[in-house]
Amino acid sequence: MMMLKRVLLAVILLLAASLSLPAFAAQDIKGIYKTIEGKEFKYDGKTVEAVEFMSFFCGGCYLFEQQLPIIKGNFAKKLKWRIVPVNWGDSSPKPAEAYFLAVDAGKGEEMKKAIFNAQFVQKRNIGSIEVLESIAAEVGLGFDFSRRLRAGEKAAEVKKGMEMAREYRVEGTPTVVIAGNLMTTPRETGQDLEEFRKNVVTIIKSVTGK
């Protein structure tokens, strides 16, 4: 009898857990976005992931970068923000490779800001390996970075990001995918990046119930 009660209790707990997950997906999410067909809504009730598809050659991405501290500041530990660098057309994949190498060294944020600054403020050629080496030196990365960049160690990771962008049917940058399948872009807010930031915050708040 005791064993039967334990089995029944275990079944009840499993059913309760399985029912609790769709409850997050079923809620009415506010904000302007489209749901990505074939992708699942993912939120565990604790942390929501936002994936930003961006390009280091994209002026809108550079301007949106300045909005990110406001977005992240709204959610403390509830938000995991991940960037996926893409390179459109014949633009060089090397800045994205340089970023991933910097992430390995714990200097991803510094490198991202430095590459953007080099491209849009200093007007340097960030597709040049020599320029990227110079930028890396400025953020404290040395010979090992140069060796790995020239060897193309992160080329496969950049390629994987491009495949992900195609899989999610990303048509431009910046594009933000929240909780697995909620996609939003500046087009939804008339290319106004401040309004875009507000829309991203609205969606995340709605997902987390904050």
Q: Which residues of 83-111 are buried (b: 16+ CB within 10 A; e: fewer)?
A: bbbbbeeebbbbbbbbbbbbbebebbebb
CATH class of 90-169: alpha beta
pLDDT of residue 120: 98
Do the first three CATH levels of 26-86+173-210 and 90-169 match, i.e. the same topology?
yes
**Homologous superfamily (CATH) for 26-86+173-210:** Glutaredoxin (3.40.30.10)
Outline where 2-152 has alpha helix (H).
2-26, 59-65, 68-73, 94-104, 108-120, 129-138, 143-151
- Show pLDDT as tens, one digit a residue, over the chain (210 residues): 555 445 444 444 444 444 444 344 445 899 999 999 999 999 999 999 999 999 999 999 999 999 999 999 999 889 999 999 999 889 999 999 999 999 999 999 999 999 999 999 999 999 999 999 999 999 999 999 999 999 999 999 999 999 999 999 999 999 999 999 999 999 999 999 999 999 999 999 999 987
pLDDT of residue 179: 98
| Residue-range domain boundaries for the chain | 26-86+173-210, 90-169
Output the pTM of the full model.
Answer: 0.85
C-alpha 50: how far from its chain's center? 5
